[in-house]
Amino acid sequence: MILHDLISLDVLRVIWWVLLGVLLIGFALTDGFDMGVGALLPFVGRNDVERRIAINTIGPVWEGNQVWFILGGGAIFAAWPPLYAVSFSGFYLAMFAILAALILRPVAFKYRSKRDGANWRTAWDWALFIGSAVPALIFGVAVGNVLQGVPFHFTPDMLSVYTGSFFGLLNPFALLTGLVSLTMLLTHGAAWLSLKAEGEVVARARAIGAITGVVAILGYALAGVWLAFGIAGYHFTAPVPANMPSNPLLSQVAHGGSWLAAYATRPWIVIAPILGFAGLVLAVRGLRRGTEVSTLLWSKMGIFGVISSVGLTMFPFLLPSATDPDSSLAVWDASSSRMTLFVMLVAAVIFMPIILAYTAWVYKVLWGKVSENDITGSGHSY
């Protein structure tokens, strides 16, 4: 336990804040192009063979990519219990919609080619569209609501009470961030198809992705302006010890000012939105020029920048409360115990490299394009 004694609670909290961001970004970078391809499916494929080409570019990897989502949910549950409790209860209907869509997607993958009927396959194609587009949209809507503050509070005995409604989540700013999320992942899916597919599927994906990429860039810029001038941020009104007990009611928080004040106190975080804009712009440029590997890498950089800009702007807040700012959850007052965070860190140090190595091996083995001959000449494709 010497190492345990060397890592203080405040350091462990920051480490797990970073790791949570890594898991969520990892999910967006990997399963993000799966969702992008699924949402593009009815539009890039004009016939059954073309749609099967698109599906088979992600068929071997989509299940493994969802590991990042599972790890992210597990990390929230174990490292930030109050965050898990409030978000999964307050966003219950939204979470249910996401889970229903994520359940529909694997069913569509497995059942689509069980029959040859055109109506049967078309129905499952649209199921894949729903199972991919709905989570991409709702994840963005959730981010928009978190930035505005969520209507919840804690009772004196730390019982969380959510006072909002499902339709209240569908406010204009949240819908804008949902649009950014959806179009960003559509562009990511187009970049993946540009790399992995052949023929008309690639041409259509590039044309659509170039448009959705521009929409994502404009939406991200508009969200930044809206955040600067139309949405108040949150800040502590009294010093918060980094090693304080995990009780948000001990903190003093005010709702006011601007989230973008963080860029004045920590100027280095401006690198995140720069990466976001640059990555998306270069991804659109790559789609228009027909480049492949670099376009996917630029798209990944854009997603990394966009998501990390949200986390860095809000730090140290995790989930602000719109109805009772003092109930807001932050890095310093919403974590598990020091021992729990340390044990989790040991497990992450052991198993994360294994997951990364296995993922890299899978992509290496399955590298290459999916052609029409692969589809018509194989009995094992989707």
Rounded CA-CA distance 199/372 in Å is 8
* CB contact set of 141 (below 8 Å; sequence gap of 6+): 94, 169, 170, 174, 175, 177, 178, 181
Among the listed residues 90, 177, 104, the one whose alpha carbon sits nearest the alpha carbon of residue 136: 177
The dihedral built from the CA positions of residue 322, 315, 15 and 62, taken in this order, carries a sign that is positive
Rounded CA-CA distance 60/71 in Å is 20
pLDDT recorded at residue 381 = 64
Q: Mean pLDDT across the stretch 341-358?
A: 91
Q: Mean pLDDT across the stretch 116-133?
A: 91
pLDDT, tens digit (0-9, with 9 covering 90-100), for 298-312: 999 999 999 999 999
pLDDT recorded at residue 54 = 92
Domains of the chain, residue spans: 10-376
Alpha helix stretches (DSSP H) within the chain: 2-6, 9-44, 48-58, 62-65, 67-79, 81-90, 92-111, 118-148, 172-196, 200-229, 262-265, 271-289, 293-314, 338-365, 372-376
* Mean pLDDT estimate for the chain: 91
What phi, psi does 212 have (nearest 5°)? -65, -30
pLDDT, tens digit (0-9, with 9 covering 90-100), for 230-269: 999 999 998 888 788 888 888 899 998 899 999 999 999 9
pLDDT recorded at residue 233 = 93
pLDDT recorded at residue 380 = 61
Rounded CA-CA distance 131/38 in Å is 8
pLDDT recorded at residue 1 = 53
pLDDT at 216 over 60: yes
CB-based contact 286:294 (threshold 8 Å): yes
% of residues, the chain, pLDDT over 70: 97
Structure tokens that stand for 207 in this block? 């044309």
CB-based contact 37:269 (threshold 8 Å): no
pLDDT at 12 over 70: yes
Q: What is residue 244's three-state secondary structure?
A: coil
pLDDT, tens digit (0-9, with 9 covering 90-100), for 49-107: 899 999 989 988 888 888 888 888 889 999 999 999 888 888 888 889 999 998 999 89
pLDDT recorded at residue 67 = 84
Whole-prediction pTM value?
0.93
